[in-house]
Chain A
């Protein structure tokens, strides 16, 4: 049996060739990308999919839940539902509440479990299976750095959520990664002058540090700035992440001669170590003729809730707080509060801002092509997202804005009113050179996954 019944001739070969050519060209003739460079996960339907990768379990689950709420609210506002939130106060007016580039915004979510491998697996799933064009999320610098490098290799944009280590936009910076949140270098620069006023220049500090990238970065920055004030560092002790009982690390503090304890912990670790430090009577102690003090460099209201009364009078820094009275913050608190019944956390604000910033950049670029979106974000100046005038620096993809120094409130008026803003440190005071010794790195080149 033969497959060709008719004898081959010039005419039938020509016919078959034309038909084959048309068939091969069809998928690209009718799609818009036929005439532009293709890129990974280019949205072809009526929707564009974003991937929200947050910790839904594990040590940072509280933050993760609030991040997800903010993302969902941002998507609503982008699609024209709700009251528009900070879209109304945002300095760029490119977005009109009708999606982005004419496409409705949809999203998929993943659970990072606050573990790098789980976070990479869920980001990979969202990129490969769900066709996510952008990944965002965080709540742990270790996770953010791991996911950022995955997005760089895959060729999608990564908009970092809550990640505070210098390394995210320092030595591990990537061309496809962007961070709105502040970092430990800025915390050090903002906190030091306030600590000097409140505690003087003759102090002996004892650090307890979460043993991973963020902890090391935080410890380094605080040491650098407090030692410049004239403080001594008595000891810097590393504690395993998720240690639970910190008592064996707290007992050596008691008779170390230190008069300040700096807790470079975040999330559940910070709740446990601060609560236990207070139980050990550290706050009632007098050392070297001075009142013993505790400092928590990175604060959040969610943590303050978990630590209860232990937080009162303790200094720290934060990216944003719901009591701010600028138009952007007020609009965000109003729409978040009406939606969920309580005010947003700093994690929620940075995630909301990052989603809006990505959507705005894509709208201004007129495409979702990652490198075009990145170019639209680089060097961009904006206002109205809650932190005052902000600059997205092109050299390291780090946002520069004012930093808040806060203190645990002595007489809270409600269960949410736990932190008071002591000082708003102006942007100029926390700026640093992108090639500074502790933070220099190589951005590399943008990858669109084609």
Chain B
């Protein structure tokens, strides 16, 4: 029983990440009709916002200690971060909280990147076939990756979660199931909570604001909304920027779980497309539910009891589900009629 609970929690946590990435992807597809293969790169750029912020904070003052020498005979260099040297305890605090604080940097940066990407490149591809869109966005993803690689190198750069949430929580004890039965890392729960909050904000924005209403109307019938005199293109540009922010924030918060490197976006891209296809192209609720569904299934498939019956199932489960869903419901779980069918 505890194993099942634990695996369920792990599935929710994985699903949170999948849902967050797929949400932005399907938002872009649903509004702009563009298949964005650069979405993984946006996730990666978000993660590197956190890395840059941390590097900026960790700029070090180098002083030479002439009394000590290194094993190769040069004087020992003592390094103290400027932030700590000048700001004392507050500097130490901000270094410790650099990942969550870097969200403040990531939001404007990702908005800007999203805006520039849509205006500079993607808008020229609205009327082109999906194959062209895939090619151009995939090319863009490679270019962005190589830029990051040339600046930060090819190796992963570890980021730490704040001390308060760096350990593991004894959920079993909290629920009265006994100490040490269900233990789960704090930061992963923070991530799950964070993804739920972001998903809720995006849904609320689309559901309860006039802007959101126009966007939803545009998603249903772009032409009529345009005929009403509403500049739907400008709104869609903003939607693209919002999707970029969502992907970026997913990346920022993921850095303590997975030390980011230039390639991390590609690893998530394939997965998020499977999530979108299973959920139904263009359906926001579909993407979110498929994200959680696939996360949970992947987690359960990794249980040793399951693998004893189906060896290797943990590595193919997601694709197996995609095949079955596409056979049974070709439009995905919540796909709308007419999307990508003309």
Contact = CB atoms under 8 A, between A and B. Distances in A.
B154 A56 contact: yes
B154 A251 contact: no
28 contacts: A58-B154, A237-B307, A244-B267, A247-B10, A247-B13, A248-B14, A248-B298, A251-B3, A251-B6, A252-B304, A255-B3, A255-B6, A255-B181, A275-B259, A276-B257, A279-B168, A279-B257, A280-B183, A281-B170, A286-B180, A306-B156, A307-B158, A334-B72, A337-B71, A337-B72, A337-B73, A338-B73, A414-B76
Contact of A308 (B11, B158, B167, B303): B158
B136 to A, nearest CB: 24
A68 interface: no
B72 A249 contact: no
Interface stretch (B91-99, B184-192, B199-207, B278-286): B184-192
Contact of A279 (B6, B154, B187, B298): B187
Interface of A: 56-58, 61-62, 65, 235, 237, 240, 242, 244-245, 247-249, 251-252, 254-256, 268, 271-272, 275-276, 279-281, 284-286, 306-308, 322-323, 330, 333-338, 341, 343, 414
Nearest to B303: A252
Contact of A337 (B70, B181, B185, B187): B70
Contacts of A256: 304
B302 interface: yes
Interface of B: 2-3, 6-7, 10-11, 13-14, 70-74, 76, 149, 153-156, 158, 160, 166-168, 170, 180-181, 183-185, 187-188, 257-259, 261, 264, 267, 298-299, 302-304, 307, 314-315
Most chain A CB within 10 A, of B7, B13, B72, B74, is at: B72
B19 to A, nearest CB: 15
A237 B301 CA distance: 13
Contact of B183 (A244, A254, A268, A322): A254
Contacts of B303: 252
A333 B72 CA distance: 6
A192 to B, nearest CB: 25
Contacts of A245: 14, 257-258
A252 B3 contact: yes
A61 B154 contact: yes
A280 B184 contact: yes
A428 to B, nearest CB: 29
Interface of A is mostly: helix
Q: Top 9 A-B pairs ranked by shortest CB distance?
A: A337-B72, A281-B168, A248-B302, A279-B185, A61-B154, A334-B72, A248-B299, A281-B183, A57-B154
B6 A254 contact: yes
A197 B6 CA distance: 33
A128 B149 CA distance: 30
A336 B72 contact: yes
Contact of B180 (A275, A285, A322, A337): A285
Contacts of B307: 237
A307 B168 CA distance: 17
Nearest to B169: A281
Contacts of B155: 61-62, 65, 306
A323 B72 CA distance: 11
B320 to A, nearest CB: 15
Contacts of B10: 247-248, 251
B304 A281 contact: no
A337 B11 CA distance: 46
Given A61-B155, A281-B183, A338-B74, A248 B314 contact: yes
Contacts of B187: 279
B201 to A, nearest CB: 25
Nearest to A63: B155
B260 to A, nearest CB: 10
A247 B188 contact: yes
A256 B304 CA distance: 10
Given A279-B257, A414-B76, 16 more contacts: A65-B155, A237-B307, A240-B315, A242-B267, A245-B14, A247-B299, A248-B314, A255-B2, A268-B156, A276-B257, A281-B183, A284-B167, A323-B71, A333-B71, A337-B70, A337-B73
A289 to B, nearest CB: 13
B14 A247 contact: yes
A315 to B, nearest CB: 22
A334 B156 contact: no
Nearest to A341: B74
A312 B264 CA distance: 27
B298 A343 contact: no
A446 to B, nearest CB: 36
Nearest to A206: B304
A275 B188 CA distance: 13
A274 to B, nearest CB: 11
Nearest to B153: A61
A280 B71 contact: no
B254 to A, nearest CB: 9
Contacts of B70: 337, 414
Most chain A CB within 10 A, of B11, B73, B257, is at: B257
B139 to A, nearest CB: 19
B71 A272 contact: no
Contacts of B170: 281
A322 B299 CA distance: 41
A127 B70 CA distance: 40
Contact of B258 (A57, A244, A333, A335): A244
A281 B185 contact: yes
Contacts of A338: 72-74
Contacts of B160: 308
A256 B181 CA distance: 11
B187 to A, nearest CB: 7
Contacts of B167: 279, 281, 284
A271 B156 contact: yes
A188 B258 CA distance: 30
A271 B73 contact: no
A28 to B, nearest CB: 46
Nearest to B156: A268
Contacts of A57: 149, 154
A74 B188 CA distance: 46
A248 B72 contact: no
A320 B6 CA distance: 40
Contacts of B302: 248-249, 251-252
A280 B299 contact: no
A406 B58 CA distance: 30
A341 B73 CA distance: 10
Contacts of B158: 271, 275, 306-308
